[in-house]
Chains A and B, each alone.
Chain A
């Protein structure tokens, strides 16, 4: 008798379950996913019914995707996707390579001014991007970089670096020091110990960080909108500038289709790696 009376109460206290938790969770999930859902509904709906408010998919067609990829109206989604891939890949590679070395130094070496360097990196991540647009535009105009890849890659690296450095520093900090010492006693130089022992162990964290940096760069709009020209513009800018056959009508359906093309691969990637991404975001925060 006492068993049956007490058990449910205990469970509720322990796990914090309850209808309130579910409702608030549902509200948050819906708030995040509804716009995305609507984008897909409109993308698959016939142009004539774009403004229909039926909440489920109707008049399903792939015409909008054809229109989105069509280059006759001055759009070039495929080129923009290629640009985005190039910019994101180069940025991610550079940010991770730099990030790993900086994080190693911050996590493992004693040197004067370490606190200062960490502070500067943190400050850089807090800096509002919009404040950089004008000076960067000015600078890149002067050196003739407007409309080049490096004009987009280099600022993106500086945005991605604080993130990579913070995640990796936390992770490297938690690796046992003795492993590196064991390697050095075993006859490895500091560099060899890092390459052969620390790096293989840090691989999951490096991978997570790379995904996070890639997503952040893929989604970057502000700087790209000012510093790029059509030949190098990434998808974010291409979608924003998307034009239809008739200059007086916004081609909403085609824009939604373009948006779907750009976001769906990213969402799938995040869903596949979500465990790792969460682990990477909380690295060092929780003692295991």
Chain B
């Protein structure tokens, strides 16, 4: 068990136009479950692979506890990794797969057996120990991959989209299983995913990356309630936050339908701003508001998402959530409003959050 520190880490492949990861700073506490999330190509897997020692860091250093591991071989780092396609050794049985690392470290045979059996029990794999990976289902293979990591009792778990090859139902089950297992074992874990729901449900903290740059690291709730910039605001939450581009008036205030945002000197006159409202914060009003013509209604049972075009310059897409089973119908016109406290304001040019009140 250990803490991890990324100190100004960058990686640029030879011949690449921009770095895959640039100036990445992050401290992960001992026992923490940290999720790296972002769209594909954002550098999250590369970051994880640098930690595991599978990619060469171009600049900066990585520390596990206080030990600089930047130039170390993967084998010296005491890290276990779960790969997206599991990377089980096809010619070895489940038990051999799980015990491979221990065998390499010349652990006595009976101890290997004991530890493999313990892990197998934990993962409900005891009856499959003699099978080859190809005779297992997707979920079982995934558990073997987890077992291979657990058996070693390493300082750090690295998980690279370990659930993306599972079907939707199994994914949800395994999600809570992995999170529970991590809490129980208390091993520092770095988990990579492109799925923001996975990120929000599993992580103690979530690090959002885009284009190789760390956008924000915080607990899921803070990410959701106070996104630092437009990218995080749009990435976290499903359906995504409504982001409506508009311009401040000559006093530096913003008005959107009935929502009046006082700039308080933080917004320049005529500044281009993006106003963000989460779908669940929009409510139907009889008075002043944003007129929306409904294009699509998604009923999920407990609630419904209503998609429409707002009667605003540029006809932005507006999504709102309706609780219960009586959403408006397609083609209807509704008027929406939101409390000013629930609204986020971003500078359109830089994308950064403007903290109003």
Contacts and interface: CB of A to CB of B under 8 A. Distances in A.
Contacts of A178: 83-85, 87
B91 interface: yes
B85 A176 contact: yes
A187 B90 contact: no
A200 interface: yes
B44 interface: no
A186 B100 contact: yes
B83 A188 contact: no
B81 interface: yes
Contacts of A187: 75, 101, 104-105
Contacts of B152: 186
A192 B89 contact: no
Interface in B116-141: none
Contact of B54 (A181, A188, A196): A181
B160 to A, nearest CB: 9
A187 B90 CA distance: 18
Nearest to B77: A185
Interface in B79-118: 79-81, 83-85, 87-91, 100-101, 104-105
Contacts of B74: 181, 184-185
A258 to B, nearest CB: 43
User: Which of A178, A185, A197 counts the most B-chain CB atoms under 10 A from its CB?
Assistant: A185
A237 to B, nearest CB: 42
A179 B89 contact: yes
Interface string A185-227: 1111100100011001100000000000000000000000000
Given A176-B85, A178-B85, A192-B104, A185 B91 contact: no
A185 B104 contact: no
Given A179-B87, A200-B91, A185 B52 contact: yes
A181 B104 contact: no
A196 B91 CA distance: 10
A192 B103 CA distance: 12
B315 interface: no
B104 A188 contact: yes
A189 B74 CA distance: 9
Interface residues of B, number: 24
A156 to B, nearest CB: 32
A133 interface: no
Interface of A is mostly: helix
B146 to A, nearest CB: 13
A85 to B, nearest CB: 31
Given A185-B52, A186-B101, A188-B75, A201 B90 contact: yes
B73 interface: yes
Given A187-B75, A188-B75, A182 B104 contact: no
A183 interface: yes
User: Which of B81, B88, B152 counts the most A-chain CB atoms under 10 A from its CB?
Assistant: B81
Contacts of B53: 184-185
A193 to B, nearest CB: 9
Contacts of A179: 87, 89-90
B76 to A, nearest CB: 9
B353 interface: no
Contacts of B158: 185
Contact of A181 (B83, B91, B105): B83
Contact of A182 (B73, B83, B91, B105): B83
B75 A189 contact: yes
Contacts of A200: 91
Contact of A176 (B87, B100, B148): B87
Contacts of A182: 81, 83, 87-89, 148
B73 A185 contact: no
Interface string B63-83: 000000000011100011101
A201 B89 CA distance: 9
A179 B91 CA distance: 11
A189 B80 CA distance: 15
Interface in A77-131: none
Contacts of A184: 53-54, 73-75
Given A181-B87, A184-B74, A187-B104, 13 more contacts: A178-B85, A178-B87, A179-B89, A181-B54, A182-B88, A182-B89, A185-B80, A186-B101, A187-B75, A189-B75, A197-B89, A201-B90, A201-B91
14 contacts: A178-B84, A179-B87, A181-B52, A181-B54, A181-B81, A181-B87, A182-B87, A182-B148, A184-B73, A186-B100, A186-B104, A187-B75, A189-B73, A192-B104
Interface of B: 52-54, 73-75, 79-81, 83-85, 87-91, 100-101, 104-105, 148, 152, 158
Interface of A: 176, 178-179, 181-189, 192, 196-197, 200-201
